[in-house]
Chain A
Amino acid sequence: MIVTTSWYLVLGALLFIIGGVGLLVRRNPLIMLMCVELMLNGVNLSFVAFSKALGDIGGQTVVFFVLVVAAAEVVVGLGLIVAILRRAPGSTADDLSVLKG
């Protein structure tokens, strides 16, 4: 069986779904952030697959940017988590409901 583009897309979708489910289910903020990374990786895989299939470098460029933005996001996210958990160690995502309207 030849590996076509669809195989990669399915893999990417599966990664995305697993990441999404993990995001909804887990309460530890660090784990939630890791699940977001999973989702991003799934998307990256899809982009690269399309880039190969279309013969266009634009897909890889987008992945490059996604990588950069994910790095920045992780940095800021971890900073936030550090700030929050330092004040109230052992809190979970559900305890952070101060912004309730």
Chain B
Amino acid sequence: MVDTIVFLVAAVICLTGALGVILARNPVHSALMLVMTLFGIAVQFVSQEAHFLAAVQVIVYAGAIVVLFLFVIMLLGVDTAQNLEIGALPAQKWAALCFGVGSLALTGYIILAVDNPVTGRPGMGGAIDETANVRLLARSLFSNYVYAFELTSLLLVIAVIGAVVLARKPVKQLPEEAGR
């Protein structure tokens, strides 16, 4: 009983937030709606006993990524109401409609046609037993997926360097050179 209520409440939060992201005029409103969605997702994670991920979701996603978004919005001054139109390219509206309707239909079909969404075959990560979630995750991460782990750390370094290089202010030209 409690599970159902928790799920429904969190689902409502998620969906409201999602619709808010795509329908809001002001980008800052979009970002705040995104935060709402992320919190809803975090609640869903907790209810699925993925505690570590819930915490990381809040810290990283809501706490870092959305903050970054807000920084950029403030930096570039797009919080005014000008750049917000929906539409323009004619094909886009129709394509969006197709995609939305088609995906909904597909989802509905799958849910109805399939009895059990899970095959039951064992996966690669390692079974969930009584150990704490963090420990299980750590064990799986550092043994089965250690290469991916190392590569993602490399990826983060590259991303940092890339961001620094991309976002640098262009070098100012000296007055005498500008005349050439």
A and B touch in the complex (CB under 8 A): yes
Question: Quick one: closest A residue to B33, CB to CB?
Answer: A34
A49 touches B72 (CB 8 A): no
A61 touches B57 (CB 8 A): no
Tell me which of B48, B107, B162 contacts A79 (CB under 8 A). B162
With A25-B96, A41-B41: A11-B3 Cβ-Cβ less than 8 Å: no
B136 touches A50 (CB 8 A): no
Give the interface centre of A14, A26, A58 by most chain B CB atoms within 10 Å: A26
State in angstroms the CA–CA spacing of A30 and B79 once bound together. 11
A61 — which chain B residues lie within 8 A by C-beta?
125, 137, 140-141, 144-145
State in angstroms the CA–CA spacing of A79 and B159 once bound together. 10
Q: List 25 A-B contacts (CB under 8 A).
A: A3-B4, A9-B117, A10-B107, A11-B15, A14-B107, A18-B18, A20-B99, A20-B100, A24-B95, A25-B93, A34-B30, A34-B31, A41-B38, A48-B50, A52-B48, A57-B125, A57-B140, A58-B123, A68-B156, A72-B156, A72-B158, A74-B69, A75-B68, A76-B159, A86-B76
Size bin of chain B's contact surface: 35 or more
A54 touches B83 (CB 8 A): no
Interface residues of A in 25-66 (CB under 8 A from B): 25-28, 30-31, 33-35, 37-38, 41, 44-45, 48-61, 63-65
- Report B's interface with A, CB cutoff 8 A: 3-4, 7, 11, 14-15, 18-19, 21-22, 27, 30-31, 34, 37-38, 41, 44-45, 48-50, 52-53, 56-57, 60-61, 64-65, 68-69, 72-73, 75-78, 82-89, 92-93, 95-96, 99-100, 103-104, 107, 111, 117-118, 120-128, 133, 136-137, 139-141, 144-145, 148, 152, 155-156, 158-160, 162-167, 169
B123 touches A18 (CB 8 A): no
- Report A's interface with B, CB cutoff 8 A: 1-3, 5-11, 13-22, 24-28, 30-31, 33-35, 37-38, 41, 44-45, 48-61, 63-65, 67-76, 78-83, 85-86, 89-90, 92, 94
B96 — which chain A residues lie within 8 A by C-beta?
21, 24-25
B89 — which chain A residues lie within 8 A by C-beta?
94
B7 touches A75 (CB 8 A): no
With A10-B107, A15-B37: A57-B126 Cβ-Cβ less than 8 Å: yes
Tell me which of B49, B82, B124 contacts A58 (CB under 8 A). B124
B148 touches A49 (CB 8 A): no
State in angstroms the CA–CA spacing of A69 and B153 once bound together. 10
B125 touches A7 (CB 8 A): no
B83 touches A19 (CB 8 A): no
A3 touches B3 (CB 8 A): yes
A57 — which chain B residues lie within 8 A by C-beta?
125-128, 136-137, 139-140
